[in-house]
Structure 1
């Protein structure tokens, strides 16, 4: 299952050890939220090649959105929070990503960087880190 959107307010905690992801925006024809969109989705939207009725999302798109949600949970900040959506999209399309705090463990940084790689074929798969 793929969702095209992952956002902090879309996570619900049901118990001490369980969390559920909700608010799958693609089910109502909305293509994700700017800060969480994978570069390939942003590029297709900019080029006018993506229309709601022809959307096909891959696991790689969800991996990218998932790691952006992880970034928000870990840091307590929205990715690119000090930039307008258009500016952050430009940054993402040029390969930029949010800066990671120095106190995050090195292994987690490696995983996050692999999950938000610009090339979808080089991103980690869901089964690799879940």
Structure 2
């Protein structure tokens, strides 16, 4: 990896310093890329409900803390008899920028409603007592499922997980929302092993101009154009999905022999995870198209969903033929 660091030339120095400063933001949020904590980790997303969504904090029962971040904590709780996840911002860390980010997250949560998006229940928006309440996801994150429990997925289960993610992300993109931090720690499982997209802390509505330049997300899953501070759009989420897909296939942490910074510098120069052996060839082709350096060459989530659904049918037919013999 030293070669990689040296080959970047003078431009690396500035990038290195900028990335070091951002490590705490992108890796040490509610869950790091290498040390996810909890069953309800990063369950901070999604769905408007009819009526008033402002939470009466007096009616919110706070239970055990299940994750911690740099500016707040995630708790399990109960609200009107329902198990919920509660993200509470620490009042001592509040400033204008954090309050703006909180308001942006709530604005997005109020707009989204889909079975593959974690359901938004409400929020306390009266400073300094800011919190966001979502449904509680009892089976935790895909990150924990893969890496703590060391589950190697069968093709049928892998494809179901991948289609769930595509459906949730397709919905977001159709509503002009970029997630910007798609990773297995932000994909949560319900009691039926359905997967829902969670954590909209850095999500943004895409401007009509269609481009962004701010670096955000988690380095091991981050698209090269985001790392390079180049304009980017929804295809940055597709790149992140490629890394998620690689994780589902391998049950490994991406670039696990590198630091997050080394991984980012490598991706910037064209580095990608090693191609898994013995994986379905169509799945590998799809994965590699999703992590193309040129965003315009990456498929959309609508296209990915269709391809994966076809693959599920093919896998079922193959399985049926084998069992029939």
Report the TM-score range of the alignment, normalised by the length of the smaller protein.
0.7 to 0.9
1:48-86 Cα offsets, whole Å, 9 max, x none, are x7xxxxxx8522011011121122222111111110122
Alpha-carbon distance in structure 1 between the residues aligned to 2:299 and 2:201: 23
Question: Which residue is 1:74 aligned to?
Answer: 249
Normalising by structure 1, what TM-score? 0.82
Structure 1 residues 1-130: aligned runs within 5 Å: 1-16=177-192, 18-27=194-203, 31-44=216-229, 58-130=233-305
Q: CA deviation at 1:17?
A: 5.6
Higher-strand-fraction structure: 2
Deviation beyond 3 Å, 4+ runs, structure 1: 27-30
- 118-127 vs 24-33, greater mean Cα deviation: 24-33
- Higher Cα Rg: structure 1 or 2? 2
Structure 2 SS opposite 1:20: strand
Structure 2 SS opposite 1:4: coil
Alpha-carbon distance in structure 2 between the residues aligned to 1:21 and 1:106: 26
1:1-60 Cα offsets, whole Å, 9 max, x none, are 21011121211111436210112341499810011110000001xxxx7xxxxxx85220
- Give unmatched runs, 5+ long, in structure 2: 1-176, 205-213, 306-325
Structure 2 SS opposite 1:66: helix
CA RMSD of aligned residues (A): 2.2
Alpha-carbon distance in structure 1 between the residues aligned to 2:200 and 2:256: 22
Contact 1:2 1:57 in 2 (8 A): no
Higher-helix-fraction structure: 1
Question: Which residue is 2:148 aligned to?
Answer: none
Alpha-carbon distance in structure 1 between the residues aligned to 2:264 and 2:293: 13
Alpha-carbon distance in structure 2 between the residues aligned to 1:27 and 1:122: 23
- 115-124 vs 77-86, greater mean Cα deviation: 77-86
Contact 1:114 1:123 in 2 (8 A): yes
Alpha-carbon distance in structure 1 between the residues aligned to 2:238 and 2:257: 24
Alpha-carbon distance in structure 1 between the residues aligned to 2:215 and 2:284: 30
Normalising by structure 2, what TM-score? 0.35
Alpha-carbon distance in structure 1 between the residues aligned to 2:264 and 2:239: 14
Alpha-carbon distance in structure 1 between the residues aligned to 2:267 and 2:238: 15
Q: How many residues align?
A: 120
